Amino acid sequence: MKRILLTGALGQIGSEMAVKLRELYGDDAVLATDIRKDHSEAAQGGPFRLLDVTDGRAFHEAARAHRADAIIHLAALLSATAEAKPMFAWQLNMGGLLNALETTRELGCQLFAPSSIAAFGPDAPRQGTPQDTWLRPATMYGISKAAGEQLCEYYYRKYDVDARGLRFPGLVSHTAPPGGGTTDYAVEMYVYAIKSGRYTSYIGKGTYLDMMYMPDAIASVVSLMEADASRLKRRNAYNVTAMSVDPEAIAASIRRRLPDFELRFDIDPLRQEIADGWPDAIDASAACKEWDFRPAYDLDRTTDDMLATLHRKLPDSEKGAILL
Ligand code: SER
């Protein structure tokens, strides 16, 4: 990658990805785009352009004008919002991806398109979910991700488009909040731990899901995009994860720093049902073998960094808990 077009740059992943890519490739090499603009570092720290990814012509024009050789396409709806607005989710997630693939084909770029643990469905093995297994998702988000994986594969086989991708687990981060996802509870738990010392989880006890800390997620995208193509047996939709946790495990990790942290439960049936259809723990060995995926943050390291960073960032008036 030398000149990168980033979509969804103000989202949970994009807002940290934009900053990291500028650090690695230079400010002018990264064109951050989103459907809105704000005062964040992602929007203000380098070239920025408004882009609606469902507008194919505008997508092509943004990539052409930037002379992009790589597109990192992050604009999409997450799982809970997609269940609430399934038609819009299909239009945005599939329409946006198709425009990204067409632009990539026309301009001869490389593409990164994220998939998710949501691509698996209730029929996939829940423990050690293999790289290659049933993909029969039960949610609109999962369907758009599973179809997206196949579409990337199709463009690779038919047009030799270098489309690469990862199946992300829930991502924990502190810059932009996630919006409308099922795994958002993990992020919220850290924020409320600092703010009030307690959190009410909408996901129930004993619900295990894969998670990863944002620095590992970003490093994995860069490693995959820079990996020697001859080592990649599949290039698209690699399982990646750093931990498999339930809400209680995150709470226990938080209590090492905030001994009085209280976790309560008030289950949201929609998001619980989504979580119950996803794997407990996926197998990332193909990623480890083919492009040396190796996450640096386990649960406790993630917790320590999240709590310390949130404590630094939040104004004193919003801090209700004392960190050890
Ligand atoms: N984090 C996403 C969600 O919860 C899963 O890819 O929707």
pLDDT digits 0-9 by tens, 186-234: 999 999 999 999 999 999 999 999 999 999 999 999 999 999 999 999 8
- Say yes or no to pLDDT of 321 above 90: no
Specify whether domain 4-170+213-239 bears CATH 3.40.50.720: yes
For ligand 1, mutation pick of 85, 92, 116, 203 (most atoms within 8 Å of CB): 116
Protein residue with its CA nearest to atom 3 in ligand 1: 181
**Looking at ligand 1, which atom is closest to the CA of residue 79?**
7
Judge whether 220 and 230 are in contact, CB under 8 Å. no
| pTM score, whole prediction | 0.97
Give the model's pLDDT for residue 250.
98
Give the model's pLDDT for residue 297.
98
- Say yes or no to pLDDT of 5 above 80: yes
Q: 22: which residues sit within 8 A by CB, 6+ positions away?
A: 29, 30, 45, 46
Task: Report the topology of domain 171-211+242-281+296-318.
Answer: UDP-galactose 4-epimerase; domain 1 (3.90.25)
The pLDDT-based confidence of 94 (bands split at 50, 70, 90) is very high
130: left (phi over 0), alpha (psi -120 to 50) or beta: beta
- Taking the centre of ligand 1 as the mean of its atom positions, its distance from the CA of residue 80, in whole angstroms, is 8
For ligand 1, mutation pick of 74, 81, 139, 183 (most atoms within 8 Å of CB): 183
Protein residue with its CA nearest to atom 2 in ligand 1: 181
- Taking the centre of ligand 1 as the mean of its atom positions, its distance from the CA of residue 184, in whole angstroms, is 7
Q: Name the one residue in this structure whose structure tokens are 């409320």.
A: 192
- Say yes or no to pLDDT of 322 above 80: no
> In terms of Cα–Cα distance, which of 215, 230, 202 is closest to 296?
215
- Taking the centre of ligand 1 as the mean of its atom positions, its distance from the CA of residue 153, in whole angstroms, is 22
**pLDDT, averaged across the chain:** 97
Give the model's pLDDT for residue 199.
98
Q: Label the pairing between strands 110-112 and 281-282.
A: unpaired
Give the model's pLDDT for residue 273.
97
Spans of all domains in the chain: 4-170+213-239, 171-211+242-281+296-318
Residues in the ligand 1 pocket, defined by CB under 6 Å: 78-79, 116-118, 141, 168, 170, 181-183
Please compute the mean of the pLDDT values over residues 16-43 and round it to a whole number.
98
Q: Report the alpha-carbon distance of residue 183 to residue 162 in Å, rounded.
A: 29
Give the model's pLDDT for residue 320.
85
Cross-strand bridge partners of residue 60: none
Residues shown for the chain: 324
**Looking at ligand 1, which atom is closest to the CA of residue 116?**
6
Residue 272 structure tokens: 């619980």
- Supply the angle between the helices 14-25 and 214-226 in degrees, to the nearest 10: 50
> In terms of Cα–Cα distance, which of 27, 307, 37, 2 is closest to 174?
307
Q: Report the alpha-carbon distance of residue 168 to residue 211 in Å, rounded.
A: 8
Q: Is 141 a catalytic residue?
A: yes
pLDDT tens for residues 133-164? 999 999 999 999 999 999 999 999 999 999 99
Q: 4-170+213-239 and 171-211+242-281+296-318: same fold?
A: no
Q: Report the alpha-carbon distance of residue 107 to residue 104 in Å, rounded.
A: 5
